[in-house]
Structure formats: structure tokens, C-alpha cells
């Protein structure tokens, strides 16, 4: 069942079109989501609450390594995709390997683009595109003290 929520880009575009034709508001967010923690859960739940369907763009292993360094990700892309798809408030997961999710955002044409409040609207990739289409760009409060990097550091210090 969770695998059915992991879509190719083409499938995601078709699904977004179907949801849009049903009058559903589509929310998009993206990230690495390596070693899932409370901060991720809280963030995605808040993102979903901003619309009817949440599509999550998930960085491939290669793109995570480019962003986070050669020792990341800790959890491979298939496992990360399954974990994200298992969340009730995530309606679709799409892997992307580009340096930014801009092409995916342009393909999906979400109504709402969401990132954490560690971003400002002018630093969110795809914000201009979404706003020009009449959509919204939102930032949601992050749970203080939770990040994968901090979690990895705590694990390393413990052993």
C-alpha cells in the first residue's frame, strides 16, 4: 500500500491534474528526510493542513550526498520514500535528483508551496512560479532542537 503512493514524475503530474479537476488544493514540499524524527512529522502534518493533498518531493541519494556530504544519506532513497509514503498526511512521494525542486514544482503546479521557517519566501525555490500562478507560499514553524544533523551528532557522541 505505501509503495502505491511513491510516484514517478509523470504519474505525479497526472495525479495532481486529477486532484485539481476534483477541486482539491495541492500542497507541495520537499526535502531529504534522512533519519525521520519529530521535527519531520510535525512539519509534514502542518504542511498537509494547508490544503487537501500533500505531494512530497524527496531528494535522491545522489542529491542528498551533494547537499549534505559524502556520508549522507544514512537511509537510502527507497527506504526514505517508503517511510514518507507510510505517513497518513503524505498523499504522494516523488523522487527528484536535480539540485533544486524547481522543475518538479513547475511540472506539478501546486497551489501551496511550503518550507520551514528557517527559509524566507524570497529564498524558497519555486516561490515566484507559484505566486505568479496565483498560489500561496507558506513557511511553517519548526520544532526547536530537531534536525537530522543534530541527531547524528548526538549518536556519534554517545558511541
* pTM, 2 dp: 0.93
pLDDT tens sequence for the chain (159 residues): 789 999 999 999 999 999 999 999 999 999 999 989 999 999 999 999 999 999 999 999 999 999 988 988 999 999 999 999 999 999 999 999 999 999 999 999 999 999 999 999 999 999 999 999 999 999 999 988 878 778 878 888 888
Q: Give the rounded distance of the alpha carbon of 135 from its chain centre.
A: 17
Q: Any idea where the domains of the chain sit in the sequence?
A: 2-158
**35-80 pLDDT tens trace:** 899 999 999 999 999 999 999 999 999 999 999 889 889 999 999 9
CATH superfamily of 2-158: HUPs (3.40.50.620)
| b (16+ CB within 10 A) / e for 119-138 | eeeeebbbbebbeeeebbbb
Amino acid at each position: 500500500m505505501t509503495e502505491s503512493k511513491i510516484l514517478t514524475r509523470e504519474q505525479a503530474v497526472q495525479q495532481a491534474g486529477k486532484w485539481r479537476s476534483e477541486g482539491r488544493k495541492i500542497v507541495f514540499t520537499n526535502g531529504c528526510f534522512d533519519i525521520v524524527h519529530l521535527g519531520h512529522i510535525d512539519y509534514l502534518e502542518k504542511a498537509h493542513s494547508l490544503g487537501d493533498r500533500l505531494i512530497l518531493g524527496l531528494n535522491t541519494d545522489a542529491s542528498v550526498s551533494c547537499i549534505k556530504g559524502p556520508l549522507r544519506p544514512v537511509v537510502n532513497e527507497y527506504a526514505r520514500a517508503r517511510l514518507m509514503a507510510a505517513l497518513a498526511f503524505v498523499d504522494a512521494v516523488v523522487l527528484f535528483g536535480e539540485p533544486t525542486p524547481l522543475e518538479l514544482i513547475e511540472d506539478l503546479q501546486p497551489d501551496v508551496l511550503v518550507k520551514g521557517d528557517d527559509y524566507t519566501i524570497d529564498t524558497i525555490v519555486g516561490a515566484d512560479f507559484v505566486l505568479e500562478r496565483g498560489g500561496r507560499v507558506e513557511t511553517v514553524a519548526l520544532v526547536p532542537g530537531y534536525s537530522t544533523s543534530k541527531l547524528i551528532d548526538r549518536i556519534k557522541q554517545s558511541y
